Amino acid sequence: MARVSQAHLDARRRQILDAAALCFARNGFHATSMQDVLKEADLSAGAVYRYFSGKEELIAAIVGEVLGEVHAAFEAAARQSPPPPPDQLAAAVLSRALALRAGLTLDGVPAFPRLVVQVWSEIPRNESLAAVLTEGYDAVRAAWGRIVEAYQEAGIMRPDIAPDHVARTMIAAVLGFIAQQSLFGPAPVEVLRDGLQALMSMPLPQSDTPSDPQSDPQSDTGTDHSSVNLVETQSN
């Protein structure tokens, strides 16, 4: 009996994961049956079950793969001195994640954003999937934290901001952008990049003397008017 090459095994696994991703994006996790996956992949039950025992393993593998790619990209950025600016870095990593799944479409529209939202909806009732997502999120968040520390050490980001606060904000921006694509249709990643760049370019408020709260209509007792200019390098 001829030995099956690793390349063949990897290609078959990819075929199954892509078919499952399309089914989950189209119908959701609970409404998708293994028979749906078999039909989408155009494979026999034996061929699919050789790789995955069922839907739980399929969705966990899809989520783990995506988060692993994202984590690796941010870890690589954290090793640069300094790392790329946040707008460029977030856009580059998201662009790569979308490009790797460009062939997955539903009615001509990229399926990946819709898949992400479907995964979120499954988290509250699926403890094993929640554990996979939490582990991946924590790894990405930690990598972003190291990136922020590198910005601060290089003197290009304010040192008084907790790195984890920036990490959470950047992750929220990307996830929010993905949610918008799922809800309202595709948008180029340049939209996210340009929006972040514009926020980063806001100048520090200049004032030589403390303003009088009663004479300044924009002054509000207890309000922090400190700069939102986190990165002062010029992004292209």
Cis peptide before 188 (omega within 30 of 0): no
pLDDT digits (tens, 9 = 90+) for 125-146: 999 999 999 999 999 999 999 9
DSSP code for 231: B
Quick check: 182 and 112 in contact, CB under 8 A?
A: no
Q: Look-up: residue for tokens 């090793």?
A: 79
Q: What local confidence, expressed as pLDDT, does residue 12 receive?
A: 96
Contact 93, 52 (CB under 8 A): no
pTM beyond 0.75, yes or no: yes
On the question of pLDDT at 188 being above 50, the answer is yes
Q: Is the pLDDT of residue 217 over 70?
A: no
Structure-token match 């095994």, residue found? 9
Q: What is the mean pLDDT of residues 43-68?
A: 96
How many C-beta atoms lie closer than 10 Å to residue 125's C-beta?
Answer: 10
Mean pLDDT taken over the chain: 88
For residues 189-199, give the mean pLDDT.
97
CA-based R_g, the chain, Å: 22
| Low-confidence winner among 22-36, 52-66, 76-90, 192-206 (lowest mean pLDDT) | 192-206
Residue 111: HSE in the Cβ half-sphere, 13 Å Cα cutoff: 21
* % of residues, the chain, pLDDT over 90: 82
